[in-house]
C-alpha cells in the first residue's frame, strides 16, 4: 500500500507561533482524525514526514519555511560513539521494563516533575493529568512504554510507537535530578537497540532543525537520514551502505511486568 495525500482528507491550522524558531509563524497539516490509520498507513505517513501526538497525525506545512526536517536513524548501521558507550556503561545498573500503558500515578508523578522543572516555559506547562493521558495514549494500538528503574524508583519513561519499518520516538520524560545519567540519550539508544532486536530498519526521531539547540542532539546518532524533497538521504550525504554494521547495543536489565 502506498499512501497518497490526495486520497486522505487533511486539515491545516491557522498560522501560530513556532515552538522552535521564535521569529517565525508555523502552520500544521493534520490527517482527518476520522481516518482509519492502519499499521500500513501509519508507516507510509511516517516515511512522508508525519508524526503522531495523541490522537493526531501531523506534519509541518509552512508556506515560507521548510526548516523542520524529518529525521530517522538507520538502525542496522548505527554505531554508538565513545560518549554514547559511556552513557550505556554508566546506566548498566538500571532495570528496563516495557509496558503497554502509562496511565498510572507513578508515571504521571514523574512527568509532572519533569515538565515543572524542565519545561515551565513550554506549551505543556502547567502539567495536567487529562492532557498527559491524551498526549501519550496508545490511540493506534502500537505504543510501548520503556520504563527505566533505579532499584524500585522510576526515573525515565520513553514513549515509542512500533510501525512496520521501525520505531517512532514519541516523547521521553525523566527525573530532573538524574541529569548526570544522560537519560535522554539513553532512551534513544534503548529504542535503537530494541529496533535492531526486532529487525526494524529505522528509529524515527521526529523533526530536526539546523541551528536549533533543542534539536542538536539528534545529529549525534549516526547514520542519520533526513527527508528532503520527498526523498530520504544521509546527513552530509554520507553513503549509508558503506557504514559498517555492529552487534546489538547492550541495554540495561530488561523485564516485563
* pLDDT given for residue 85 in this prediction: 97
Q: What is the pLDDT of residues 14-28, one digit of tens each?
A: 999 888 888 899 999
Beta carbons of 183 and 191 less than 8 angstroms apart: no
Band of residue 3 on the pLDDT scale cut at 50, 70, 90: low
Does residue 257 register a pLDDT over 50? no
Beta carbons of 36 and 14 less than 8 angstroms apart: no
Higher local confidence (pLDDT), 87 or 6: 87
Q: What is the pLDDT of residues 137-170, one digit of tens each?
A: 999 999 999 999 999 999 999 999 999 999 999 9
The count of other CB atoms within 10 Å of the CB of residue 144 is 19
Instruction: Determine the topology of domain 71-255 in CATH.
Output: Aminopeptidase (3.40.630)
Q: Which of 56-70, 72-86, 210-224, 232-246 comes out lowest in average pLDDT? A: 232-246
* pLDDT given for residue 211 in this prediction: 81
Does residue 221 register a pLDDT over 50? yes
Beta carbons of 75 and 201 less than 8 angstroms apart: yes
User: Across 102-106, 123-127, 246-250, which has the greatest mean pLDDT?
Assistant: 102-106
Pick from 62, 47, 89, 96: which is nearest to 254 by CA?
A: 96
* pLDDT given for residue 195 in this prediction: 98
Distance of CA 71 to the CA centre of its chain: 10
Band of residue 245 on the pLDDT scale cut at 50, 70, 90: very low
Q: What count of Cα atoms within 13 Å lies in the side-chain half-sphere of residue 181?
A: 20
Does residue 121 register a pLDDT over 90? no
Percent over 70 (pLDDT), the chain: 89
User: pTM for the full model?
Assistant: 0.90
Can you give the residue ranges of every domain in the chain?
Answer: 5-67, 71-255
Q: How far apart are CA 81 and CA 88, in angstroms?
A: 11
Q: What is the pLDDT of residues 60-97, one digit of tens each?
A: 999 889 999 999 999 999 999 999 999 999 999 999 99
User: Mean pLDDT, to the nearest integer, of 36-59?
Assistant: 96
- CA distances (Å), origin 81, targets 48, 207, 232, 248: 29, 22, 23, 14
Amino acid at each position: 500500500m502506498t499512501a497518497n495525500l490526495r486520497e486522505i482528507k487533511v486539515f491545516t491550522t491557522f498560522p501560530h507561533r513556532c515552538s522552535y524558531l521564535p521569529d517565525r509563524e508555523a502552520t500544521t497539516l493534520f490527517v482527518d482524525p476520522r481516518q482509519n490509520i492502519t499499521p500500513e498507513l501509519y508507516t507510509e505517513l511516517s516515511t512522508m514526514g508525519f508524526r503522531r501526538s495523541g490522537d493526531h497525525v501531523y506534519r509541518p506545512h509552512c508556506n515560507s519555511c521548510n526548516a523542520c526536517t524529518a529525521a530517522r536513524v538507520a538502525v542496522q548501521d548505527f554505531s554508538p560513539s565513545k560518549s554514547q558507550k559511556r552513557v550505556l556503561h554508566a546506566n548498566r545498573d538500571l532495570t528496563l521494563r516495557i509496558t503497554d500503558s502509562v496511565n498510572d500515578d507513578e508515571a504521571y508523578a514523574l512527568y509532572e516533575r519533569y515538565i515543572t522543572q524542565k519545561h515551565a516555559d513550554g506549551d505543556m506547562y502547567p502539567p495536567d493529568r487529562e492532557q498527559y493521558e491524551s498526549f501519550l495514549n496508545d490511540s493506534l494500538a502500537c505504543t510501548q512504554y520503556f520504563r527505566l528503574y533505579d532499584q524500585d524508583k522510576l526515573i525515565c519513561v520513553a514513549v515509542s510507537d512500533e510501525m512496520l519499518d521501525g520505531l517512532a520516538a514519541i516523547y521521553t520524560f525523566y527525573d530532573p535530578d538524574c541529569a548526570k545519567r544522560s537519560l535522554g540519550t539513553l532512551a534513544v539508544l534503548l529504542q535503537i537497540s530494541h529496533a535492531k532486536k526486532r529487525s526494524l530498519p529505522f528509529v524515527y526521531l521526529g523533526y530536526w532543525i539546523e541551528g536549533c539547540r533543542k534539536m542538536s542532539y539528534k545529529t549525534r546518532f549516526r547514520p542519520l537520514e533526513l527527508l528532503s524533497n520527498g526523498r530520504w538521504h544521509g546527513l552530509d550525504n554520507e553513503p549509508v551502505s558503506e557504514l559498517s554494521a555492529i552487534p546489538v547495543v547492550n541495554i540495561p536489565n530488561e523485564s516485563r511486568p
